[in-house]
Amino acid sequence: RTGLIAGTRCPPAEVEQRRFEVYPSSYLAWARAAGRPVAPQQASPRCPEGAPIPGKDQPQGPRITYPTDGAVLLLDPQLSARQEILVRAEVPGATEAYLHINHEKIPLQGPPFRHRWMLQSGFFTLRVEAGGTSSEPVHLRVEGN
């Protein structure tokens, strides 16, 4: 409703799925001036990241908050060598965790738990692990070359 980023705990009625082009920061001003669909950089104050949905319990274990399960990401052929996303995770009560991307194990420090991941074509399974507990897997596909 606000045109800003919906937190992962926003009620579905408050969320509209949209596709955005992702540019390196050096191209953002150009993209905006050219009217390109650039993703908002700010969370909505109506339902920020991690805000509970009324009537629902807050999850107790680790979880990946971005990307979402089933996501399909598209590589721009002109930017594919530099295209990346910011993988985000919540790990309550932890100061370190591990991000698993397929069979690669990446140490994370936090909070906040973030990892800049350079995109490449293929199918991927992501999960986050901390204190012997693992998140639900997030499956995604990256298309393009």
Per-residue buried b or exposed e for 7-27, using 16+ beta carbons within 10 Å of the residue's own CB = bbbbeeeeeeeeeeebbeeeb
Angle, CA 64 vertex, CA 62 and CA 69 arms, to 5°: 130
67 burial class (0-12, 13-18, 19+ CB within 10 angstroms)? buried
Model confidence pTM above 0.85 = no
Regions of the chain short of the pLDDT cut 50: 52-58
- What is the model's pLDDT at position 50? 56
For residues 118 and 81, give the distance between their C-alpha atoms in angstroms, rounded to a whole number: 8
pLDDT tens-digit map of 59-74: 568 999 899 898 899 8
- pLDDT value at residue 130: 92
